[in-house]
Amino acid sequence: MQAITESPSQAGSAAIEASFSIEPMSPTIGAEIGDIDLTRPLDDGQYGALRAALLKHKLLVFRDQDISAAQQVALARRFGELEVHPVFPHHPEHPELVMLGGDSKIPGRENVYHSDVSWRARPSMGSMLRCIECPKVGGDTIWVNMAEAYARLPEATRTALDGLIAVHDLLPAFGTRMTPEEREARRAAFPPAMHPVVRTHPETGERVLYVNEAFTTHLANYIEKHEVRFGFDFRLAEMDLLQYLYRQAAAPEYQVRLKWRPNTIAFWDNRSTQHYAIQDYFPARRSMLRATIIGDVPV
């Protein structure tokens, strides 16, 4: 069993030691955590060390964790208050768990780069996804380090993003799942949210590119920040910039790819990552349960 020590900046306080193993999954993002039993409640030392590891690696993967739905809810709640998703189907006994994955008739539709619930005024701090059933081949998920994506933008582009505000909206992605009456009710409950194009991570201080092609619809103040000659300069230049920013998530250099097995748990930081659930397994079945931890207002 390997003892791991995280630095104070990663832990948020004094250095933390934990007796579980950490094996990096790529040079940029992700670590597999071993020698830990998640059927047991986390003690304070384990909690602190896992949170420090999450801040450093942004994605933590746990294998062979045969936990119940109630245990998954309790584990995720250790890291913060949990949301109840307004659209996805819920576990019948635990509304904090959404049920994800298609079946032999309906394919999954999470195959777009996104950060969970960025359309909320207070988007997610993190998500904890547990594999119940998956195909032997296919159905992998990709995660992307969006702090690295921002850091490696050309300096002129980073300067051009200063002060820009992006609009994130629930309806473009989820509206087709609703009746007109449901869309009207969801619009009243969840108006579009405005977040900085580049947010500052509240725990690490990292600058993070925070737009995604699933939920970011446009820039609220592009014309205030950039000189334009005509109306088409404003609209087309704004669209070109957004398309360029969306594409950053697709760079393999910022990514890690996870092959699922039953009882695998992935825990990731939605403030600094995006992810993409690959839809290459239909009509095979993939069944997942996700708990989502409420975060803070991006700044």
Determine whether 116 is an active site residue: yes
Residue type, position 133, single letter: E
95 Cβ neighbours under 8 A, 6+ residues apart: 84
- C-alpha closest to that of 60 among 80, 30, 39: 30
Q: What is the Cα–Cα distance from 154 to 200, expressed in whole angstroms?
A: 18
Determine whether 114 is an active site residue: yes
Catalytic-labelled residue, pool 130, 207, 271, 290? 290
N-terminal to C-terminal alpha carbon distance within the chain: 39
Catalytic-labelled residue, pool 116, 130, 201, 286? 116
* 270, 295 Cβ separation under 8 angstroms: yes
Catalytic-labelled residue, pool 57, 85, 94, 114? 114
H or E stretch including 281?
none
Catalytic-labelled residue, pool 51, 271, 275, 286? 275
Q: What is the Cα–Cα distance from 126 to 292, expressed in whole angstroms?
A: 6
Active site (catalytic) residues = 114, 116, 275, 290
